[in-house]
Structure 1
Amino acid sequence: MPRPIVAWYGVAVLFAVQIFSFVDRQALSLLIAPIKADLGMSDTEVSLVIGLGFALAYAIAGLPIGRLVDRISRPALLSAGLALWCGCTFLCGFVRSFPQLALARSGVGIGEATGTPVVVSLLGDWFLPHRRGLAFAVFAVSAYVGTGLALVAGSAIVHAFAGVSVVEVPLVGPVRTWQFVFLLIGPPGLLVIPFVLSLFEPRRSTGAAGRTMAASDAPELSQVVGHYRRHWRAFTTQHAASALLAMLFYGTGAWVPEFLRRTYGLPIAQGGLLFGLVTVAAGTVGVLSGGVISDRMLKAGCTDARLRVTGFAALGALPFAAAFPHAATPGLALALAGGMIVFTAAISTTGSTGVQELAPARMRGTASAVYLFVFNGIGLSLGPTVFALLTDRAFGDEALLWRALAVGAPSLAALAALAAFTGLSSYRTCVAANAGETPRSSARRGPPGPALATGV
């Protein structure tokens, strides 16, 4: 493992990369109204661009990328992905139709699919198991900072160009205001590539005999499939709980600015700014709390700590998810939505670190890709669409978006809690198998030994 200063430098660089990732990903949620007007799209079509068009490409590309993570230079792979998603974000500023926007967003998804498998794999090699929660938590704060910055900066741009429908861009010509936002936010991420290429790439070891493994020593697909078959209950419940909380976070996050506008008449620039600030504050508290609490529980001997914290986070989010759509004022709605985000943010730590514990060391890249396939294929792609379909099909009136949120949000939180608590025993069994131990019936056990650190 690298020296702590090297490892934490790596976390700082990955933090910056993730900020640009979420800025590029989330800015579109502020631009729903002008995009609908210019391209003639419905709420459902907008949700497909925000969610499915992005997330399906992200999820499908993540599977082969996960295999590459176990075989080639991870900093080089992440740099290539960063260049791709920044370029495709920039191209969103030139689209003229729904299919073109969906295609450009798919390119953003493919590029961003390199991010989490690389991050999960590198952090797993840089930190011991009982310290990974804090490392992942610090890194995961960047998702909420990025989301908040996208909303705050996007709101500032929308406010600055209020009443202006067309912007004259040098060398480009006239573009719509919403297109100008993409032209601004796309290129800056390229500045981080030299720092990504400087990241420490550890020698990868089996952990058993301590020998260094070459890329050709990466596990065969049949070995990965065999591990999943043996522990399918653990993977299924862990992935389901994470994906359902992701549906809650991404689904509500995509529609809250519009909810504030449609329900309370709050201007989109003001609503986006306020929700961005709430997201940064609440997300930071939640993700750090989830990492620190699950780390302490793990160190105390609770080997199912990551999944157990996920379950409690889902229960904690439930009352806030049920209450915020019914709030009498926009301020109260934002405060209650912030309470929900505090709890849903925990998944940013417990989900990825949980995969670290369920997968042996040399399967982490592939396991992360599978996890992201489920997490994004269900959570990010279906989350925004669930609320859009409820609005368009069940209630038939865009002004009733609040009712769609009131029905969908608490249902997702309840299902996530059920999945998490159902899988605790299977989770402990899988963790013990990776550590070469026999699981005890109680969650209270001695702290994991060195074998767990290597994933063997």
Structure 2
Amino acid sequence: MKLSTGDPLEPAIPSLSRRTWVLFMAMLVGAISYMDRQILTMLVEPIRHEFGLSDQQLGLLTGLAFAIVYTITAIPAARLADRWSRRGVVSIAVAVWSTMTVVCGLATNFWQLFLARVGVGFGEAGGSAPMQALLADYFPRSQRGTALSIYLLGAPIGMGLGLAFAGWAVVEYGWRWTFILAGIPGLLVAPLLMLTVREVRAGLADGVQQAFDQPPFGKTIAALWQIRSLPLMMLAATLMALIGMGMQAWVPAFLERTHGLASTEIGAKLGAALATGSVIGHLCGGPLADFLGRKDLRWHLWTPIITGALAVIMVLLALNGPADLAFPLFGIQVFLTGLFAAPMIYMATTLAPVWARATSAACAMFAINLVGLGLGPVIVGQISDMLRPLYGEESLRISLMLALTVYLPAAICFWLASRTYRADHGTALADLERDSEPAMGH
């Protein structure tokens, strides 16, 4: 039984102006999400000195405190979104994580800050997957890759603003007020989203005419698992997230420890480099996937094999070169990894049945955030602590280089997924065509 959304659903594909507004709001939500995540990476050193923390404890704050509850609650939040209202779940999520960002600024010890970050993760669990599913139902397949690329611009915008803002605010007001000020935008956006974005029927943009009851969770997961390329793609993306999200949590600390740079310089230069590279990568990723996919769908999975190898090279150069080159090299790295973001969401939401799109996207986010954002910073921090007696402050740089070894198994998984991807994609489109026919007696 599907729960009521509380208002009438759109009967047909909304107008271009309404779709544009929804896309803008989705991008804004993504920007606020990444800003609230990213600012902590700029505050690592002042928090470390005030509370006397080890790198492992800092890894818990930057990663696991957020990711553990995120991964636990992301799939239930997506199930609620599939059954009730994607818009409603996202609005509540934005309000919760923004409130908890403010609470981070009130912490007086490690455990209070840890629990506040847990609260941020709890809120953000309901933000990504339901919004991606909503966009998949607003935009037809011919426009979906480009729409998702635009949506993903929120991440680099929020990342760049978060780094630059935190680098400035921590000097002017201290790390506590940096958190408090960062939480305010989300508290304004949450009611605006609820009031201006309308819910649409699952599968609307694909012409699906039927309404679906939500199967039990076990059957939903079984249906997704049977799509042979989907679990392999998720595993590969999860491993690559160690190079992306897991590593970026430590880049500001690396620049401060190894090169002795000030937080204001790191925030401004790194924010500009990462935002520029990520914006270009996300903008190009969707159209590139659409273009290459018309030649051979398997390019959706071959591309990250190539770009991932190049990203590893960029990181190695950044970690071992002069400070001035580190910023553009990290920017190129996020450009290369950003090329896969839109294709990943496309695969997660298009290969899955229309009644499981939010759950499919949540499963991808579950794995990526648990390993990349959650365990990644902790593992890097643990290795850094282990190497500190030998390498001193350079232990973090060595630990970051060791993290790059996960590229090899990720590339293997991408290649294995490409072997069945065309067949899985064809099956998904055939199911959509069947479901697009008017239901008889439904």
Q: Cα deviations across residues 367-397 of structure 1 (Å, max 9, x unaligned)?
A: 1121111111111112222321221114543
Please tell me whether residue 73 in structure 1 is matched to residue 73 in structure 2. no
* SS of corresponding position for 2:412: helix
For residue 404 of structure 1, report the CA deviation from its aligned partner. Answer: 1.7
Q: Conserved in 2, the CA contact under 8 Å of 1:242 and 1:416?
A: yes
What's the offset of the Cα at 1:333? Answer: 1.4
Q: Judging changes above 3 Å, is the alpha-carbon distance between structure 1 residues 210 and 408 closer, same or farther for their aligned structure 2 residues?
A: closer
Residue aligning to 1:443: none
- The alpha carbon displacement at 1:406 in A equals 2.3
C-alpha RMSD of matched pairs (Å): 2.2
Partners of 1:331 and 1:450 in 2: how far apart? 53
Gaps spanning 5+ residues in structure 1: where? Answer: 162-176, 438-448
1:250 aligns with 2:245: yes
For 1:261 and 1:200, the matched residues in 2 are separated by 46
Given candidates 210, 215, 219, the residue that maps to 2:215 is 219
Distance 1:210 1:180, change over 3 A: closer
Do 2:350 and 2:357's aligned partners in 1 also have CA atoms closer than 8 Å?
no
| Contact kept? 2:388, 2:394, Cα under 8 Å | no
| 1:179 lines up with 2:176 in the alignment | yes
After TM superposition, give the deviation of residue 46 of structure 1 in Å. 0.7
Cα separation, partners in 2 of 1:296 and 1:195, compared to 1, 3 Å: farther
Aligned: 1:379 with 2:372 = yes
* Aligned mates of 1:22, 1:157 — CA distance in 2: 17
Corresponding residue number in structure 1 for 2:234: 239
The one of 357, 365, 379 equivalent to 1:364 is: 357
Task: Identify which of 200, 203, 207 aligns with 1:202.
Answer: 200
- 1:419 matches 2:413: yes
How far does residue 313 in structure 1 lie from its aligned partner after superposition?
Answer: 2.2
Describe the SS at the equivalent of 2:250: helix
Deviation at 1:302, TM superposition (A): 2.5
The answer on 1:18 being equivalent to 2:30 is yes
Q: 1:453 to 1:333 in 2, by over 3 A?
A: farther
CA distance in structure 1 between the aligned counterparts of 2:110 and 2:436, rounded to whole angstroms: 47
Return the alpha-carbon distance in structure 2 between the equivalents of residues 349 and 325 of structure 1: 27
Given that residues 6 and 200 in structure 1 are in contact (C-alpha distance below 8 angstroms), is that contact kept between their aligned partners in structure 2?
no
Partner Cα distance (1:205, 1:345) in 2: 27
Distance in 2, matches of 1:131 and 1:204, equals: 17
Structure 1's 308 and 451: CA in aligned 2 closer, same or farther, altered over 3 A? farther
Report if the CA contact (8 A) 2:23-2:147 is conserved.
yes
Structure 2 residue 333 is the aligned partner of structure 1 residue 340: yes
Q: What CA distance in whole angstroms lies between the structure 2 residues aligned with 1:361 and 1:424? A: 22
Partner of 2:402: 407
1:283 is displaced (CA, Å) by: 0.4
Q: Aligned partners of 2:295 and 2:73: how far apart in 1?
A: 37
Unaligned runs of 5+ in 2: 1-12, 438-442
In structure 1, the residue matched to 2:40 is 28
1:303–1:450 distance in 2 versus 1, CA, 3 Å: farther
The C-alpha deviation readout for 1:290-346, integer Å capped at 9, x for no partner, is 111001123x1523343233223212212112221110x211111221111111112
1:278 corresponds to which residue?
273
Whether the aligned pair in 1 keeps the contact of 2:140 and 2:206 (CA below 8 Å) is no
Alpha-carbon shift at residue 357 of structure 1 (Å): 2.4
Q: Does 1:121 align with 2:146?
A: no
- Give 1:279-294 correspondences, 5 Å limit: 279-294=274-289
Counterparts of 2:42 and 2:300, CA distance in 1: 33
Amino acid at match of 2:67: A
**How far apart in 2 are the matches of 1:229 and 1:352?**
16
Partner of residue 105, structure 2: 93
Tell me what 2:297 maps to.
303
CA distance in 2, matches of 1:244, 1:13: 30
* Alignment coverage as a number of residue pairs: 422
Task: Give the secondary-structure state (helix, strand or coil) at the position aligned to 1:114.
Answer: coil
Contact (CA 8 Å) 1:35, 1:178: kept in 2 or not? yes
Q: What percentage of aligned pairs have identical amino acids?
A: 29
Alpha-carbon distance between aligned partners in 2 of 1:208 and 1:280, rounded to the nearest angstrom: 33
After the TM superposition, which of the residue ranges 20-29 and 346-355 deviates more from structure 2? 346-355
